[in-house]
Amino acid sequence: MIRDDDVPAWWQRLGLPGLIDIHTHFMPARVMVAVWRYFDAAEKHYGVAWPVHYRGSDAERVATLRALGVRRFTALVYPHKPGMAESLNAWARDFAAVTPDCVPSGKFFPEPSALRYVREAIDAGTGVFKVHVQVGGFDPRDELLDPVWGLLAEAGVPVVVHCGSGPLPGRHTGPGPFGAVLDAHPRLTAVIAHCGAPEFAEHLALAERHPNVHLDTTMVGTDFMNRLAPVPGDVVRRLGELRDRVVLGTDFPNIPYAFAEQLAALERFGLGDNWLRAVCWQNGARLLGSP
């Protein structure tokens, strides 16, 4: 198993200039503390311990990513009630302004102001959005979101959507509700988080049906995740066929293991070096812009 110290040699061997990680979390300190408190009680919530591996300050966590060779990353936050998203978007823009390797990251919630503040965020340079269907507790088909999906589709700005039913199912999780959004907005550049775990096959089918739908690798194939949602062999084969639409994501820093374990998991799929190059660099560069 490679360790974090080995990560630069890992991507150098592939001839890459580094890594691009589309699924990382930075957020205002008080929000991050609340998230860590939730993971500290993970046995109660998820039935499994989830000791967050990377704590410390924003500066320390950014330095960790840079030492690993992550050249571009995101600051994904997901509001769970109305009235939060707009200020989080402003926070993420300020964070990216002083952290040039971080893509300005946005979010939204079904509320009457959503279309206005998403448009403003795009105009101000926001390069990726995040939606978490279970934590948000809303239906992605909510009529207040319909024009937002349309705007994102037209702008070609990627949106990372956690719609799988893991680690916890929600009223609107699973491939059905978000699949209906894709039927209404088939050009949407969506990135389905965690490959849609645990409904891998159904979410892969969405990517197979819609040419702008991607899947992020976040936690997929790691020993930790394999105990909760193992990846079927047929899914691995289909991930190989979708090479240009699978993109590296890790959930850094809120993972219960070292970053390097994600790379080891991808290598274990046995899909070859060209697949690893596409996933760990080329596809992320296409979605987020080349560093």
Helix 114-123 to helix 85-98 angle (10° resolution) is: 10
Stretch that binds Zn ion, among 60-68, 97-105, 179-187, 244-252 (CB under 5 A): 244-252
Strand ranges, E, within the chain: 19-20, 70-74, 102-103, 105-107, 128-132, 159-162, 190-192, 213-216, 246-247
Stretch that binds Zn ion, among 135-143, 163-171, 178-186, 247-255 (CB under 5 A): 247-255
How many Cα atoms within 13 Å fall on the side-chain side of residue 22? 37
Stretch that binds Zn ion, among 43-51, 85-93, 175-183, 250-258 (CB under 5 A): 250-258
Cβ atoms of residues 157 and 189 within 8 Å: yes
Does residue 251 interact with Zn ion by CB under 5 A? yes
Alpha-carbon dihedral of residues 248, 252, 258, 261, nearest 10 degrees?
A: -20
Least spacing, CB of residue 103 vs Zn ion, in Å:
15
| Residue closer to Zn ion (CB basis): 16 or 126 | 126
| Residue closer to Zn ion (CB basis): 16 or 128 | 128
Does residue 216 interact with Zn ion by CB under 5 A? no
Total residues at interface with Zn ion (CB under 5 A)? 1
Least spacing, CB of residue 183 vs Zn ion, in Å:
25
Least spacing, CB of residue 233 vs Zn ion, in Å:
25
Cβ atoms of residues 67 and 123 within 8 Å: no
For 11, the token pair is 């991507």
Q: Point out which residues bind Zn ion (CB under 5 A).
A: 251
